[in-house]
Chain A
Amino acid sequence: MELRIDRVTKNYGSKIACDRLSITFGKGVYGLLGANGAGKTTLMRMMCGILNPTSGTISYDGVDVSCEEYRDVLGYLPQDFGYYPEFTAQDFMMYIAALKGIPKSKAKVKTEELLEMVSLKNEAKKKIKTFSGGMKQRLGIAQAMLNDPKILVLDEPTAGLDPKERVRFRNIISRMGADRIILLSTHIVSDIEHIANTILVMKNGQLIHEGSLEEIIAVIRGKVWECTVPQKISDELTVKYPIINTRNVGDEVFLRLVCDEKPCDDAVNADATLEDLYLYYFSEEENDKS
């Protein structure tokens, strides 16, 4: 079981959305991190055959992404998806099952099983237009699993889910990752931290880090500091270093920041987390955008 992305590039006019990406996926859960516009969705769409790469190839066990055999083992949850207004949850599942080539009798059994898994069994006959955002998201997750996919691509799967649902869904993904390739992209860093065996970090269309949580975090280990300082010093440090967290404590300011050396006398070294790494790489970009 091997999904190979080989020197894939995608251009939109002069803008390079993905720049010569080469990744090989085996069984397991892969977490894709990156700021908005980093190229995550473009990469996922190319992996699903929705977008054609400008150059490079994508294949699963030698089967090209454009082949029916590839789509037959693929499950995909897009970031935003619509639905036909007259559909109930069950109609939606049966419709997608037909598109996936699943015979009606098998589709019925699978639909019931998956709707139960995502806690929508009692809502099976209700119109999707009456569903909340979280319910729609759960339905989207269920449809992606209809064909028991070997490659599961999930773009922001936990967006809109409440914390309890998120944890439940996280556990389901983790279990499923044992015998298939799962790639999930999310801004909820803790989701990736908990379930991804391998973390991929994208920036400006390029893969800047790839590895386990330990390997990824090693980049900033020993560089995360916490200190509580007066407002004036806080202002100076804020200009000088990437700030991960800030909070007022009485007259002073608590700071969590990343820098190579001790930023001030009171600073103490803190354990680095994936969120630190994410903010370290992308806070500047987010600030620029806002």
Chain B
Amino acid sequence: MRFNLKKELREAFTPPEPNGRDGFLAAIPYPKLTYREFVLSQICYIRKRIWFVSLLILLAGVGAVYIVPDSSMVLVWIISALIPLLAVLTAAEISRSDIFGMFEIEAVCRFALPQVIGARMIILGICNFAVIAAATAVLGIFSPLGIAKSALYILTPYVSVNGISLAIFGRVNGQDGVYLSVAAAFAVSLAGVILFGKELYDERMTNVLMMAVCVAGTVLMTVQIKKLLVGKDNYYGIKD
């Protein structure tokens, strides 16, 4: 009975056109993303090449262990040569707003540029840490270097290439920066291979040199990251 009444009323009267419905709906406040949710939302915007290279390093390490178990130094060369590639891709990913001219649009959003860069650093930092830790463990177990030296041999090319690349991206715009950074990464890889292959220095000398480069690379990387996070016009060189 009640159902019929509703139906008849609906048929008898035409409802008025909604007045200001869009404005009303738009005015309803909605919960904005928290920074944690924002960071998680950025995972899908990290380019696939980062995940691919990370996986490649892990697979190369594991593969080398099984394929050439007797030539343990080959493992050191392979991993040390691939680490600069991961470092340069990470630097390019962190600096991509600048490389592709998106920084102006990103800087004015609720989560401003330093927060966007921070989100990328968190995601890539976790990913790179996992890769470096796994690679160190593989090297530590399957090469004669031990954990401490393995960490040094992996961290040194990583921090130096990352620092150099971030410095390049901060100064050279667009694709030119990418080419220069790749060249720097290649040079570091080559230097590593020559250093390990030719044994130019005695072991103690090599370790001291590696440690010095590692410290310098870490300082450079830290300075560049700080510039990125607090930068703005003094970093991006925006002019009228």
Residues of A that sit less than 8 Å from B by CB: 12, 17, 37, 39, 41-42, 45, 48-52, 68, 71-72, 74, 76, 78, 80-86, 95-96, 98-104, 106, 140, 143, 147-148
Q: Name A49's contact: one of B32, B42, B107, B111 (CB within 8 Å).
A: B107
Bound together, the chains give a CA A232 to CA B180 distance in angstroms of 59
Task: Give the interface size bracket for B toward A.
Answer: 20 to 34
Q: Are A96 and B240 CB-contacts (below 8 A) given A50-B104, A102-B32?
A: no
Per DSSP, are chain B's interface residues mostly helix, strand or loop, or mixed?
Answer: loop
List the B residue with the shortest CB-CB distance to A146. Answer: B109
Q: Name B110's contact: one of A12, A101, A148 (CB within 8 Å).
A: A101
State whether A50 touches B110 (Cβ < 8 A). Answer: no
State whether A48 touches B102 (Cβ < 8 A). Answer: no
For A48, the chain B residues whose CB sits under 8 A away are 107-108
Residues of B that sit less than 8 Å from A by CB: 26, 30-33, 38, 41-42, 45, 47, 96, 100-102, 104-112, 116, 232-233, 238-240
State whether A68 touches B110 (Cβ < 8 A). Answer: yes
State whether B233 touches A98 (Cβ < 8 A). Answer: no
Bound together, the chains give a CA A95 to CA B105 distance in angstroms of 11
State whether A99 touches B101 (Cβ < 8 A). Answer: no
**Smallest CB–CB gap between A246 and chain B, Å?**
31
For B47, the chain A residues whose CB sits under 8 A away are 86
For B239, the chain A residues whose CB sits under 8 A away are 12
State whether B26 touches A148 (Cβ < 8 A). Answer: yes
Bound together, the chains give a CA A102 to CA B31 distance in angstroms of 8
State whether A101 touches B105 (Cβ < 8 A). Answer: no
Q: Are A50 and B45 CB-contacts (below 8 A) given A41-B240, A98-B38, A101-B110?
A: no
State whether B109 touches A106 (Cβ < 8 A). Answer: no
List the B residue with the shortest CB-CB distance to A15. Answer: B240
State whether A84 touches B240 (Cβ < 8 A). Answer: no
**Smallest CB–CB gap between B103 and chain A, Å?**
8
State whether A50 touches B109 (Cβ < 8 A). Answer: no
State whether B233 touches A50 (Cβ < 8 A). Answer: yes
**5 smallest beta-carbon distances between A and B, as pairs:** A82-B101, A99-B109, A101-B32, A101-B110, A78-B104
State whether A101 touches B238 (Cβ < 8 A). Answer: no
Q: Are A99 and B30 CB-contacts (below 8 A) given A42-B240, A82-B102?
A: no
Q: Name B105's contact: one of A52, A96, A103 (CB within 8 Å).
A: A96
For A51, the chain B residues whose CB sits under 8 A away are 232-233, 238
